[in-house]
Structure 1
Amino acid sequence: MNLFSGIHTFQSQILNESIDRLKMSTRKFKPLQELEHREVNLFLENLTLNKQINKEDDSHHLIYSENDCWVVSNSRIDNREELLNLLSLQVNDHLSDNALLLKMYHEYGNEFVKKIEGDWTLAIWNQAKQELLIARDQLGISALYYRLTDEYMAFSTYIKGLIEIDSHSIKIDEVYLAGIMTAWNTQSNNTAFVNIQYLPPAHYGLVKNGEFTLHRYWIAENTPELHLESEMDYVKQFSDVLEQSVKNRIRHAKNLGSQLSSGFDSSTITTVAAEIFKKDKKRLTAFTSIPKEKTSDYFPEHTATDESYLSIPTAQFLGNVDHIIVQSENQSIIKNIYDSLELHHAPLHAAGNMFWIHQIYLDAQSKDIDTMLIGQSGNTTLSWTGYPEGLQIKRLIKRILGYKGKEKFSPTSYLQYLIAEIKNKLNSNRLPSWDSYSFISNQFAQDLDLIQKMKETGHDPTFSNSIHNKKGHINFINPLFSKIGALWQDLAYHYHISTYDPSTDKRLVEYCISVPNQYYQRHNTNKWLLKTAMKGRLLGNLIHQKKKGRQATDLAIRIQSEASEFQELLKSFRSNKAIQYYLDCQKMETCLERILENPRKKEAYNDSIFLTRGISCALFIQKYDKRLYKK
C-alpha cells in the first residue's frame, strides 16, 4: 500500500517550502520506505505504508523510470498475466507493478488505463512531451486528488498535502457542504474545498502546457446484456467471477480480516474468502460490531439491531474463522468525530458510524491484520434484488395516491401522511423538504439557491422518486462521482491495513449489469442469483432471513452517556458566526434535548444520525472559519 504525491510547475522552479509542506503532511503515517524524484519543474514522491507481501517492496520500485518517463502508483493489478501477454513478455514475478504500468503506457499510450484491472491510482511524467497523466481505477478503494492553479498542478492520494501546500488560499466549497448537510449527491468531483478536486472513478487527467483535460475511459452503462443457454449458466458464471474478485484481493494477505454483519454481502465475501483460505489450511478473522447494550425494544421487529445473531453462527459454520465481537465500549463519539475530521479533512455523511469502524480497525491492528475485506457496495452487485417488471398493485396505488411517505405503506400511514401534507399546504411558512433530516440554515440554503441547484442535478430531497429500472440499477452501481473509496483508503493509510471491497470489482460489476433482470427475481425469490449461487455455502437462516441489519443502533444511548460534552459543544457553536450562518444551531440543541429526554424512543436513532452529521459539519466549519468566513 503506497501513498504518492507530486507537483508540476508550469513556468517556474518548484519552491522547496512547497515540497516540504507536501511531504510533512504525510509523515504522520510513519512510512516504512520512501523515494523521491526532483527536476526543475517536477517533484514526485512515493511512500510505502505497510509491509508489502509480494516481491515489489524494494524502495527503488516506488518510482520507476524508463525512456525519460517516470511513474508512481498505489496499485494492486489483478490481470498481470494478461498484460504481460499483451506486451509479449514472459511471466516474471520480479517485474514491479510500476514497471508493468509504464511498459503498458509506452505500448498503448494514454488509453492503456482501459486494460488495467484492480484497485489502482497512478501518475506518469513524460519528460519528452512535458506531459503529466494522472489516472485511477473504475470503482475501487482508492482516491486521487489534484489542485490546479495558473502556476502549478499538485496531486496526491491523500488530500492534506494539497491543503497545506497553500493553506491561506483554501476555501470551503459551499455546495459540497450543503450536499453533506442534506444527503445530496451533488454530482461533481468537488471536495470540501473549492481549490481541490477529486479524480472521478474511471477517469484520467492530462496536464500539458498548463492546461488540464479530464477523460472518462470506462462507461458501465455500455455493458451489453448477456444471454446464456440456461439459468444455471448465469449462476455458474456469477460464482466464478465472485470467487475471482475475492481471490484477487487476498492473494498477498498473511493475516486477513473481514467486516462481518448479518447481511448477504459481508457474509458472502467472508464465506468465499474462508473457502479459499481453507484450501491452504489458513484462518481469517471476522469482526462484527454490536451495540453495547440491548436496543431491539425500540426498533421495528424486522430490524436486526444486534447482528451477531447471524454472524456468530456464520463464523462457526465456516470453521476457519476467528470471530471478534466489537462493542466499542471505550469510544467517545465527540472525540471520534474530531479524529475523523482530522483524518479525512471533510465533514462526514455517516459521522455517527465512524466510532465502530475505527474500533474494528483498532482491534484488527492488535491482531496484526494486514488486509481487510468489506462489502459496502454489495447491495448493487452481489445482493441486487432486481427491479419490478411492470407495475405492481401496491406501487400503482401509491403512485395514484401520490404517497411519498417513508413509513411502510398502509391505510394508517397514508392517513398520517395525508394529514401532514394538508397541514404543510395550509401553512404559509411551509418548511423545506429537508427540514426533518438536516440542520442546514434557511439563510444559507436561500443564499445558495439550494432548491434550484438540487433540481439541476435531478436530486429529489424527499427521496421518493427512486427509479425502478435498468437506468436506476446503473445509477446505483456506477456512481460517476463516488467518493466511497476515499474514506476507506484514508482508514487504510491510518491503520496500515490494506482495505478492499470485492463487490466493486470491475468484472463483477460488468457481469451484474449484463445479467437480465429476470435472474434477480426468479421463482418467486428475490436475490435469486446470489441465493442460488450460495446455497449450501451460506447458512440457511441467513438466506431466508427477513430482518435488515443496522449499525450503531445504540448511538442515542452513547450520546446520552456523553450528554454534558455534547451540551457544551453545541453551546460553543453559538459564538461562532460561521457556524451560525451555515447551520441552525438552535435546532441542533432542540434535537439533542429530544435525544437526552428519551434515547430509547423510536425517533432518537434518526435524530442521533442527523445530529452527529451536523456536528461533523460544524466542526469542519470551525476548523477553517478563521480564514474562510466572510459573510
Structure 2
Amino acid sequence: MGTIFGIYSADNQVNKEYCMNMLERIKTYSFDKLQAWQREKIFLGCGIQYDTPESCLEEMPQRYEASGLSITADAIIDNRQQLLEQFQIPKNLWNETTDSRLILLAYEKWQEDSPKYLVGDFSFAIWDEKKQQLFCARDHVGKRTLYYYHVNNTFAFSTIINPLLTITDMRLNERWLTDYLAVDGILHVTECNETPYEDIFQLPPAYAMIVSSKGIIKNHYWKPLENIKELKLNSDEEYDKAFREVFFEAVNCRLRSFKGVGIMLSGGLDSSSIACVAARKLADKNEILKGYSSIPIKEYENSLSKYYIPNESEYIKSISDDYDNILVNYCRNEDMNSYTNIDEFINILEQPYKTFQNLFWYNSFAEKAYEEGCRVLLNGQSGNSTISYGDFIVHAKTLFNKGKFITLRREIDALSKKVKMPKRKIEKIILKVVIPYNIRKIISSKIKHRNYDKFSSVMVSKNMIKKWNVGQRFDMEGYNQPIERYYDLYQNHKYIVDQLAFSHIGTIETRISLANKIAIRDPSRDKRVIEFCLSLPSEQFVRNGEQRLLIRRALKGIIPDKIRLNTARRGIQSADWVQRLKPYWKNIRKELECLVSDDGLIKKYIDIGKVQEALKQIDEVLDEENEESLRRLFIVLIFYKFLKAYERG
C-alpha cells in the first residue's frame, strides 16, 4: 500500500509546477518505490510501501496502451483468487499478478460498477483516455482515504491532504473545526465529505466518482442496508459453521505479508479471536504471529472497580499458552503519554485529534511491529459491532418491538440469574428502553433537563455555535442530546455501517499506516463479515441472558475459555493515562495558560472562561477525580497546537 496522487486538467495541459510541488510534499514520507507519470491533461503518481508479496512487483502508475487505461492504486485486494479465476488468468501467473492489475481488469469488465466486485482496502484512480475521464474509488469501509480539490477545470487528488495544499491557499474550514469542538466524545467529524481545510474534500467510504470536463459525478456503490435478507438456518451449529467460514476467510486473506504479521492484542474477544484464527493458519507454514499489548506503567495505582481489568496480560497469556507461535510483547511505553507526541501526531494526522488517551501506544505498536519485521498489523477495531456483537438492551427492544413479550420475560429472568441482578432493576431499565424516545425527551425536558445546555461539556465558543447553527444541526443529527436513544437490532444496523465511524477510523489508520510503513488490517471490518452479521436474527447474538453469544459459541475450542467465557470482567486499556501525565502537569498547565493569554486565532474558537474554570478545578494536583476536566483541556490543547502549526504555515 502507500500513497496515490494526481492532477487532471479538463481543458489544458497539467500545470508542471503543481506536479512538482505535489511530488515534493509526497517525498516527506518513506516509500520503497516512488514514481510519477504525466501525459497532457493527466498526471498520476504513486508511492509504494511493500506489504504483500505482490506489492513488490507493482509498477505504478501503470499505463496500458492497448486499452488507453492508466492506473494508480493504494490497495490490497483480498478476493484475489475469485478475481483471478473470473479473469481466467493461468495459475502459473497468479503470483505475478498484482492487485492493481486486478483492479484494472475489474474496471475493463464492469466499468463504473467495478468497486462492487472488489474486497479489500483500497483507493484508486483510473485515467480512461478513450472516455476522457478519471474514475476514482474508495473501499467499502473507508480503510484508505482519498482527498481531492476541484476548482474550475483543475482536479487534484491524494491519499493525504498535504500535497493538495500546494495547489490551493491553505484556509481553515470554520464549520468543520467548530463541529469538531462542539461534538461531545471522541468523534472527529459530523459528516464525511469535508476536511479541516476549505476546498479540500474527501471521498466518503463506499463511493466512486467520475471526473470529466462535465464535472464530478459521485456514486454510492455499496448500500448493504437496502438488500438485507435474514439468514434462516436450521440450527445453531449451522449458524456457527457459516460464521466460521466467513470469519476465517476474512482473517486468512489478511495474512499475506511481504515479511511478518503482527497483531494489536488485548484480552477481549475481538483481537483474541483474530489472533487465534491467524495463529492456526500461520502455524501451517511454521510462521509466528507477533502480538503487541499495552499494559500500565509500573507505578500505576489501580483505583478502578473489580469489574475493570487495567492489565490484561493474564488473559493474553492464556492465548500464548494455547498457541506457541504467538509471541507477545507487553508494552509499557514508560516514556510516552498523551502529551509527549502531540505535535508529531498533528503532523501525521493533518488535523487535531481526540484519541489522545491511546494514540501514543497505538502508534508505538505500528512502529515496533515494523522494526521487528512485520509488514501487516492486524487489529479487531470493529469487532464489537460485527463478530462479537450482542447487546442485551438491543435484543430486549427487538423482542418488544416484535411483540414477543413472553420471550422478553424469559430473557429478563435468565439475565437476572446470570448477572445476579434483581429482576425489578432489570425491568426498570427495560421499561426506560421501550418507552419511545420522543416521549422520554419531553418528560426529561420538563423534569430533569429543563434548562439543558447541549454544549455545557465542551469548550467551543458560543459565537461559533451561533454562526454555524450548530445547535439546530446537532438536534437534527442527534448529537449532544440529554438522554440516550435506544435501538432495536434493525434500527441499530445503520450504526454498524456508519460512514462517519468508518471515516473517523480510516483517517487515523491510513495515516499511522503510512507513517510507519505497515498495513493496518481489520478482519472484523471485512465487507463480507459485515454483510453476514447484518443478516443474522437477534437471537444469534443474545439468548438466555447470554450476550455476545455467537462468537462465544462458534469459537469454542479456538479461543481460550478464560477469554471466551469471561462475562464478569472487562478490560480497559489506557487506564493509566492520567497517572502518566502527573510528572508533566506543570508543563501542560503552562501551555494551557499560554492558550488563555493568546490573542490569536484560538479565541475565535474556544470559550476561554471554560478553560480557566477547568484549570481552577485541577489546580496543582492531578488525579483521576479530575479526569473529565483534563480530557476537555486536552482536546483544547491539541486544537491550540493545531492552530499554531497552521499559523506557522
Compute the TM-score of the two structures, normalised by the length of structure 1: 0.90
User: CA shift at 1:598, angstroms?
Assistant: 4.6
Tell me, yes or no, if the aligned pair for 2:143 and 2:502 is still in contact at 8 Å: no
Q: Name the SS of the counterpart of 2:367 in structure 1.
A: helix
Q: Does 1:506 align with 2:532?
A: no
Q: Distance in 2 between matches of 1:308 and 1:547?
A: 14
Q: Does the 8 Å CA contact 1:474/1:513 hold for their aligned counterparts?
A: no
State the percentage of identical aligned residues: 24
Aligned to 2:548: 527
Match of 1:579 in 2: 602
Q: 1:348 to 1:210 in 2, by over 3 A?
A: farther
Q: Which amino acid aligns with 1:564?
A: K
Pair 1:260–1:498, CA change in 2 (3 A): same
Cα pair 1:255 1:371 within 8 Å, conserved: yes
* CA-CA distance at 1:359 after TM superposition: 2.1
1:431 is displaced (CA, Å) by: 5.8
What is the CA-CA distance between 1:423 and the residue it aligns to? Answer: 8.0
Question: Where does residue 479 of structure 2 map in the other structure?
Answer: 459
Q: How far apart are the structure 2 equivalents of 1:78 and 1:402?
A: 43
Q: CA deviation at 1:96?
A: 2.1
CA offsets 1:412-456 (integer angstroms, 9 cap, x no match): xxxxx99x996863xxxx4622323x2212222222221111123
1:48-197 equivalence runs, <5 A: 48-49=48-49, 51-58=50-57, 60-66=59-65, 67-91=67-91, 92-93=93-94, 94-139=96-141, 141-166=143-168, 168-183=169-184, 185-197=189-201
The letter for the 1-side match of 2:71 is: V
Amino acid at match of 2:224: A
Q: Of residues 326, 341, 345 in structure 2, which corresponds to 1:340?
A: 345
Report the AA paired with residue 60 of structure 1.
Answer: E
**Mapped pair 1:447 → 2:446:** no
Alpha-carbon distance in structure 2 between the residues aligned to 1:343 and 1:617: 14
Corresponding residue of 2:390: 385
CA RMSD, 1 decimal: 2.6
Deviation at residue 589 of structure 1 after TM alignment: 4.2
Change (3 A) 1:329 1:524: same
| 1:62, distance to aligned residue in structure 2 (A) | 4.4
**In structure 1, the residue corresponding to 2:172 is in which secondary structure?**
coil
2:428 corresponds to which residue?
A: 394
Checking the alignment, whether the CA contact within 8 Å between 1:352 and 1:612 is kept in structure 2 is no
Q: Is the 8 A contact 2:45 2:60 kept in 1?
A: no
Q: Which runs of 5+ in 1 are unaligned?
A: 405-416
Say whether the 8 Å CA contact 1:570–1:585 is kept in structure 2: no
Of 608, 621, 631 in structure 2, the residue corresponding to residue 609 of structure 1 is: 631
- 2:570 is the alignment partner of 1:548: yes
- One-letter amino acid of the counterpart of residue 19, structure 1: C
> SS at the partner of 1:205?
strand
Amino acid at match of 2:604: Y
CA distance in 2, matches of 1:45, 1:614: 37
Match for 1:539 among 542, 554, 560? 560
Secondary structure in 1 matching 2:467: helix
Give the CA deviation at 1:468. 3.0
Residue of structure 2 equivalent to 1:414: none
Q: Secondary structure at the match of 1:375?
A: coil
Counterpart CA distance in 2 for 1:225 and 1:480 is 25
Over 3 Å counting, the alpha-carbon distance change for 1:595 and 1:320 in structure 2 is farther
Give the aligned partner of residue 35 of structure 1. Answer: 35
SS at match of 1:25: helix
Q: Deviations over 1:228-282 (max 9, x none)?
A: 1211111011111111101111122531111111211111111111111122222
CA gap 1:216/1:286 in 2 versus in 1, 3 angstroms: same
Give yes or no for contact 2:181–2:460 (8 Å, CA) kept in 1.
no
| Uncovered stretches (5+) of structure 2, i.e. residues with no partner | 401-407, 409-426
> Which stretch of the first structure deviates more once superposed, 610-619 or 180-189?
180-189
Query: Residues of 1 paired with 2:182 and 2:298: CA distance?
Result: 29
The 8 Å contact of residues 560 and 596 in structure 1, kept in 2 or not, is answered as no
1:619 aligns with 2:641: yes
1:378 Cα deviation after fit? 0.6
Tell me by how many angstroms 1:209 deviates: 0.9
Q: CA separation in 2, counterparts of 1:403 and 1:298?
A: 35
CA distance, structure 2, for counterparts of residue 593 and residue 553 of structure 1: 24
CA contact (8 A) 1:177 1:617 kept: no
SS in 1 for 2:123: strand
Letter paired with 2:179: A
Contact 1:591 1:611 in 2 (8 A): yes
Q: For structure 1, which segment, 235-244 or 181-190, has the greater mean C-alpha deviation from structure 2 after superposition? A: 181-190
CA contact (8 A) 1:64 1:72 kept: no
Q: 1:365 touches 1:495 (CA, 8 Å); kept in 2?
A: yes
**Aligned residues of 1:247 and 1:276 also touching (Cα < 8 A):** yes
**Aligned pair 1:198/2:202, yes or no?**
yes
1:452-495 C-alpha deviation (Å, 9 max, x unpaired): 11123243534611423312133234436631112111111111
Q: Which of these residues, 310, 313, 320, is aligned with residue 315 of structure 1?
A: 320
Instruction: Report the CA distance between 1:63 and its aligned residue.
Output: 2.2
Aligned to 1:412: none
The Cα of 1:298 is off from its aligned counterpart by: 2.6
Return the alpha-carbon distance in structure 1 between the equivalents of residues 369 and 101 of structure 2: 32
Deviation per CA, 1:67-120: give whole Å up to 9, x if none.
Answer: 111011111112223223333433322222222221221222111111111111
| 2:515 pairs with 1:494 | yes
Q: What is the match of residue 366 of structure 1? A: 371
Q: What SS does the aligned partner of 2:515 have?
A: helix
**Hey, what does 2:223 align to over in structure 1?**
219
2:140 alignment partner AA? Q
Return the offset for 1:529. 0.7
Match for residue 324 of structure 1?
329
SS in 1 for 2:44: strand
Query: 338-347 vs 96-105, which deviates more?
Result: 96-105
Q: Judging changes above 3 Å, is the alpha-carbon distance between structure 1 residues 262 and 245 closer, same or farther for their aligned structure 2 residues?
A: same
